[in-house]
Structure 1
Amino acid sequence: MKEVNGLVVCEGCDAVYRRPALRPREIAHCARCGTELARHAGMQQRRLLPLAVASLILFAIANLFPIVEIELQGLHSQTTLAGAVLTLAGEGMSEVALLVLATTLLFPLVQLSVLCYLLVPLARGTRPPGFAALVGLLQALRPWGMVEVFLLGVLVAIIKLSGMATVVAGAALWAFVGLTVLLTVVVSFDPRGFWELAFDGPTQQDVREADEMKGMA
């Protein structure tokens, strides 16, 4: 959906409509092809910031604490996500290590950091610098965060190892479980909703500019 001066362009047939004013739970569809034009975000926008902060906390736990502890014949071994990446790189699998590093650490961290950077000023009624570029970055990174794929791989590995050694789940594993759930909710938020937050009604920046213009008149 492209929004220009209150207009909405249908992604299915390029029909142009005035941007609809929706009530809670309402969804606007194109009269020509039925493509969804817009939907009311409800209270999701207000819940997004605390969910993003909670995700950052779980993300820190997931990366600072051991994922699992393995005991085999009296020997103990435990590792963190960063340790697993270094191990993969040391065993000649640099491409796999880079992929794991990007999809489970760098991209999710960038997403959550950008979310908090955008949402904190928007909650105060101001638009942060670089707003449009960062919303576009969020849209581009959405398919690349693969924490749930990593979690599934860890669970499969634990099941296979449990028959040969004693495997104890670490704090990071439970943090990854919670992080997967929260990221699913956070990432499901349509980045186009940021434009509604930023441009529906005057912001504090707009009010200041209006006051300055009045003072000059």
Structure 2
Amino acid sequence: MSLDSTTVSPQPNPSCRGQLLACPECDLLQRAQLSAWHGTLRCARCSAVLVRSRHDSIEHTLALLVAACILFVVANSAQLVTLDLQGSIHTCTLPGAVQALWQQKRELVALMVLVTAILVPGGLLALMLYLLLPLARNQVPPGVKLVMRLLHHIRPWGMIEVLLLGILVAVVKLSGHATVLPGPALWALAGLLPITAGMLTAWRPDDVWLRLGELQK
């Protein structure tokens, strides 16, 4: 088996010492020495990606994560929009919108907004911060396996982009009846989308396991 910093095709070798990997596509078992290695490792049979690693992915993801956390706090604490209806001023925050939907007997919509726009994105950011901050300082946080499993399951349920699209549609419809002024929270949500996309692109679970393996030796 040969490994380098580029895309490689390992050859299975039972005598080779290293981590035993199962191909997610064809289930071929093969061994690779992954310590202190970075690049893309492919299956010897079908060329599916076994491991994709980058030496600075944890630090890169953490930097974007901190920015995302700041924007998320602003998005949930500051004013979302301000409505000026013939001199009557009304302001709204994201949690306030959930409360208003609940009071209007739209419990299902309120729960969907609460879960997909507040709880899941907040939980995702909190779990990643809990995991990556100690790893960046070469420390192992407790419960890593549980945290990684939770991240895998809750990641698809964060739908801030759907919420933002709905807000923009509502603003366009309301603009014919009142003056609509975007608040800091709306701009924070708009900034949160590219930051989160960049964070999830930089996020490489393989690097987390490699770092944990190095720290636990």
| TM-score, scaled to structure 2 | 0.84
Kindly report the root-mean-square deviation, in angstroms, between the aligned alpha carbons of the 2 structures. 1.8
After superposing on structure 2, the runs of 4+ consecutive aligned residues of structure 1 that deviate more than 4 Å are: 20-24
Pairs within 5 Å for 1:10-89: 10-19=23-32, 21=34, 26-89=39-102
Q: 1:149 aligns with which of 159, 162, 186?
A: 162
Which one has more relative contact order, counting CA pairs under 8 Å at least 6 apart?
2
Aligned to 1:210: none
Mean Cα displacement is larger for which, 138-147 or 45-54?
A: 45-54
How far is the alpha carbon of 1:20 from its aligned partner? Answer: 5.7
Distance of 2:166 and 2:93 partners within structure 1 = 15
User: How far does the alpha carbon of each residue in 1:112-147 deviate from its partner, in whole angstroms, 9 at most, with x for none?
Assistant: 111111112112222111011101111111101111
Distance of 1:91 and 1:192 partners within structure 2 = 46
Q: 2:138 aligns with which of 94, 118, 125?
A: 125
Distance of 1:192 and 1:147 partners within structure 2 = 26
Structure 1 unaligned spans of 5+: 207-217
Distance of 1:19 and 1:116 partners within structure 2 = 29
User: How far does the alpha carbon of each residue in 1:60-98 deviate from its partner, in whole angstroms, 9 at most, with x for none?
Assistant: 110111111111211111100111001111111111111
| TM-score, scaled to structure 1 | 0.84
Percent of aligned positions that are identical: 41
Distance of 2:37 and 2:205 partners within structure 1 = 19
Residues 81 and 179 (structure 1), Cα distance of their counterparts in 2 relative to 1, 3 Å cut: same
How far is the alpha carbon of 1:41 from its aligned partner? Answer: 2.3
8 Å CA contact 1:139, 1:191 repeated in 2: no
Q: 2:206 aligns with which of 172, 192, 198?
A: 192
Aligned to 2:122: 109
Query: How many pairs does the alignment contain?
Result: 198
8 Å CA contact 2:51, 2:206 repeated in 1: no
Distance of 1:163 and 1:6 partners within structure 2 = 63
